[in-house]
Amino acid sequence: MLRRIPPFAASLLALVAVAFAGCGSSSSSSSGNGVSSKSPTEILSATTAAADSASSVHVAGALTSGGSPITLDMDLVSGHGGRGQISESGLAFELIVVHDTVYIKGSPAFYRHFGGSGAAQLFQGKWLRASASSGELASLASLTNLGRLLDQTIASHGALAKGATTTIAGQPVVELRDTARDGSLFVAGTGRPYPIEIVKRGSEAGHISFTRWNQPVTLTAPSGAIDLSQLHTGH
């Protein structure tokens, strides 16, 4: 059962990574914190340092990659995991990663698509669990790894340029633009230069917001989760 989850997990991670990378890099800037006077490369370095030092962040948004609509709403806790909801092409699931274990609870459509009608019946309303380092759900663990998402963002971007100083939800921000991929990263203009929002334009437009930096997040493993290692997945 659910023998098709591994490629789906890898695919979803790749889609999210590409969407982040296609928008430039996680950075920050501002007149209030001095980042706006820096070069794009210096802004990138400053925002990376700020994000890497954060204990937690809320990441949410919607985007399209490879023709597939993706939505995500996640709380990420540095070094510990995360929790939230993800949907790709209408296939939605809840995700919790606590240290070395991944937990997912899929919608009926999710379980039906990846395991057939039998799996949809068997797992309806139930959590599944597996190792975060190997096995069926390991790729999903990366979706809650803040450091890895930022590293993937920074590793792939085109020429960067500073854009206008503006505000997002009342927050002063400076735009860092990826001129090659028509995407922008908006960086906090006051306080720590955290990433505030990523916007991608064009045929695969979308946006990702970063909020609630360093706010407390409690990660609790769901009770009664079914251990996938105890199930016969078939071949």
pLDDT tens per residue, range 89-132:
888 999 999 988 999 999 999 988 888 888 888 899 999 999 98
pLDDT in tens, 133-144: 887 788 888 888
The total number of structural domains in the chain stands at 1
Question: Across the chain, what does the average pLDDT equal?
Answer: 81
- Is 55 contained in some domain? yes
- Output the pLDDT for position 101: 94
Could you report the average pLDDT of every consecutive run of 10 residues in the chain (235 residues)? Answer: 48 49 40 84 88 92 83 92 92 92 93 85 92 82 77 66 90 88 87 90 83 95 90 53
Residue 224 belongs to some domain of the structure: no
CB 149 within 8 A of CB 43: no
CATH number at residue 95: 2.50.20.20
50: helix, coil or strand? helix
pTM recorded for the entire structure: 0.83
E strand or H helix at 217: none
Residue at 131 is within a domain: yes
Checking 64-70 for CB contacts under 8 A at 24+ apart, the result is 64/203, 64/204, 64/205, 64/206, 65/15, 65/16, 65/18, 65/19, 65/22, 65/204, 65/206, 66/15, 66/18, 66/204, 68/15, 70/12, 70/15, 70/16, 70/19, 70/206
Task: Specify if 176 maps to a domain.
Answer: yes
Q: Which helix (H) or strand (E) holds 59?
A: strand 56-65
Whether 163 is in a domain gets the answer yes
- The answer as to whether 179 is a domain residue is yes
The whole domain housing 33 covers 5-219
Residue 233 inside a domain? The answer is no
Inter-residue contact 86 to 72 (CB < 8 Å): yes
